[in-house]
Amino acid sequence: MKTIFTLLFTFLTFLAFAQQNWVPGTYTTLQGEKVQAQINDLNWDRNPLHIEVKVNSASAVQKLTVKDIKDFSLSTGDKYERYIVDVDKSPVELNQLKLDDLPLIERDTVFLKTLVTGNAELYYLKDGASKEHYFLKTGDETPLELIYKVTLLENESGTSVSRVPIYKGMLSAKLTACNEISEKISKVPFKMNALMSLVEDYNTCTSGTTNTYTAKKQAIKHNIVTLAGGTFTTLDFTGTDYPNLIGKDFKGTNYTVGVSLLSTLPRARAKWAIRNDLMFKPLKAENKHETGNNSGQENYTSVHTKFDIGYAGLNTSVRYNILDASIKPYVSLGVSYNLMVYNNSTQETYRRYYGIENTRQEEPMKDYAKHEPALFFSLGLSTKRILAEGKFEKGSAFSPYVYLGSSRSTFAFQVGYILK
Q: What is the tens place of the pLDDT at every residue in 107-117?
A: 999 999 999 99
Q: What's the whole-number mean pLDDT along residues 297-309? A: 90
- Band the pLDDT of 18: cuts 50, 70, 90: very low
Q: What's the whole-number mean pLDDT along residues 122-131? A: 93
What pLDDT, on the 0 to 100 scale, is given for residue 193?
92
What pLDDT, on the 0 to 100 scale, is given for residue 277?
97
Please tell me the distance from the alpha carbon of residue 46 to that of residue 132, in angstroms, as a whole number: 9
Q: How many CB atoms lie within 10 A of CB 120?
A: 23
Least confidently predicted of 16-20, 32-36, 76-80, 185-189? 16-20
Backbone angles phi, psi at 358, to 5 degrees: -150, 135
- Band the pLDDT of 360: cuts 50, 70, 90: very high
The mean pLDDT value of the chain amounts to 89
Tens of pLDDT, residues 36-62? 999 999 888 899 999 999 988 778 999
**Quick one: CATH architecture of 221-418?**
Beta Barrel (2.40)
CATH 2.40.160 spans which residues of the chain?
221-418
- Band the pLDDT of 353: cuts 50, 70, 90: confident
Closest listed residue to residue 90, CA positions, set 127, 124, 123: 127
CATH 2.30.30 spans which residues of the chain?
19-77
Closest listed residue to residue 114, CA positions, set 79, 89, 164, 72: 79
Please tell me the distance from the alpha carbon of residue 207 to that of residue 205, in angstroms, as a whole number: 6
Supply the pTM of this predicted model.
Answer: 0.70
Residue 213 bridge partners (DSSP): 117
Tens of pLDDT, residues 269-295? 788 999 999 999 999 999 998 888 777
What pLDDT, on the 0 to 100 scale, is given for residue 2?
54
* pLDDT above 70 for 171: yes
Least confidently predicted of 220-224, 354-358, 406-410? 354-358
The vertex-44 CA angle with 42 and 49, nearest 5°, equals: 100
Closest listed residue to residue 115, CA positions, set 30, 182, 47, 168: 47
Please tell me the distance from the alpha carbon of residue 402 to that of residue 228, in angstroms, as a whole number: 35
- Give the whole-number percent of the chain exceeding pLDDT 90: 66
Q: Which segments within 75-181 are labelled E, that is strand?
A: 79-88, 105-117, 120-126, 132-138, 144-146, 149-155, 158-164
Q: What's the whole-number mean pLDDT along residues 207-225? A: 80
Residues counted in the chain: 420
Burial of 173 (0-12, 13-18, 19+ CB in 10 A): exposed
- Band the pLDDT of 3: cuts 50, 70, 90: low
Say which CATH class 19-77 falls into. mainly beta
Is the backbone of residue 292 left (phi > 0), alpha (psi -120 to 50) or beta? left
What pLDDT, on the 0 to 100 scale, is given for residue 14?
47
- Band the pLDDT of 414: cuts 50, 70, 90: very high
